[in-house]
Amino acid sequence: MKRILKGMRGIKVFKNEPLKDYCSLRIGGKVRYLIKVYNKKALLETLEFIKKRRLKFLVIGEGTNILFPDEGYNGVIIKLMGEFRKIKRTKNIFLCGGGVLIKNFINRAVESGYGGMEFLAGIPGSIGGAVKGNAGAFGKAISEILSRVTLLDLKGEIKMINRDKIKFDYRFSNIPDNAIIIESEFKLKKAEKKIIKRRIAEILRMRWQRQPRGLSAGSFFKNPRPLSAGKLIEECGLKGFRVGDATISKKHANFIINLGRAKAKDVLKLVRIVKKKVKEIKGVELEPEVRIIK
């Protein structure tokens, strides 16, 4: 199978890759095939190959909001590279490939003298994942600056969908899980570079005052609005609680930190304990924000 895939242009194939190398938690067994795809034609051919062989697959960005299983993944992981990491600008319109890093989008906007995306500063990961999960911070979300997305479905059809045709909510969009975001278009506002940079610096300062360093997947649970997941967990006395090498951060209780050798089973056990405790004490059902792969 690897030999067949290697005959396709525009891809790189890796067999039995350790998934811990492809996520910010640094947890996960091996994936059967990891394929880096560099253009749309290669992506279409890869999907056709996967469909014919009835393989399961995932498309990942930088793996900053994901927990892979210890057993690995018996399928295909697709990582968007090449043309999917390009940014095109026409005046205040920025067209970002699905694999563009959020930080690169921010840098390009600042260089061009456009603002409105400052709240994304410090959020790791790629544009595709950010749009799918409606990433945001400080009361703002990426859907607020989005004008349209281009999706590739399992039938190989490419569709451009306007922002008003997509349902967005807190850390949610109704973009199908089996659709691949290949491009996203954003509309920004002209602004002075020094003002944009000042806003970004302030947002980063606030972010690092509140959030811990270390191996994590960011905020693990969604905030059950208007409440704060971190505050609920802290009030249940769980700060610093540990299972194996997975621990609740002492700085911010909505962060699960891998101290170095944590397994997915440790994190999942910790998640079950947190959910049970918060439900018993606070009467609130917490929902993971992190994507848990099974």
Question: What pLDDT is stored for residue 288 in this prediction?
Answer: 96
Exactly one of 89, 171, 207, 291 is catalytic; which is it? Answer: 171
Among this protein's residues, is 185 annotated catalytic? no
Active site residue 171: yes
**Local confidence band at 5 (pLDDT 50, 70, 90 cut-offs):** low
pTM to 2 decimals? 0.92
- Identify whether 212 is preceded by a cis peptide bond (ω within 30 of 0): no
Query: How many CB atoms within 10 Å of residue 31?
Result: 23
**CA neighbor of 95 nearest in space, from 2, 225, 183:** 183
> Of 24, 143, 216, 219, which is the active-site residue?
219
Q: CA 108, CA 88: separation in Å to the nearest integer?
A: 10
Q: What is the dihedral of CA 89, 165, 57, 42, to 10 degrees?
A: -40
pLDDT at 3 over 70: no
pLDDT score at 177: 86
Question: In this predicted model, what pLDDT tens digit does every residue of 169-202 receive, in sequence order?
Answer: 999 999 998 899 999 999 999 999 999 999 999 9
Candidate list 45, 83, 183, 289, residue with the active-site label: 289
pLDDT score recorded for residue 156: 86
3 is catalytic: no
Q: What are the pLDDT digits (tens) for 240-258? A: 999 999 999 999 999 999 9
Q: Which of 7-21, 45-59, 75-89 has the highest mean pLDDT?
A: 75-89
For 151, the enclosing helix (H) or strand (E) is strand 146-152
Q: Give the per-residue pLDDT at 2.
A: 60
Q: What is the pLDDT of residues 95-124, one digit of tens each?
A: 999 999 999 999 999 999 999 999 999 999
Q: What pLDDT, in 10s, does the model give residues 143-164?
A: 999 999 999 988 889 999 999 9
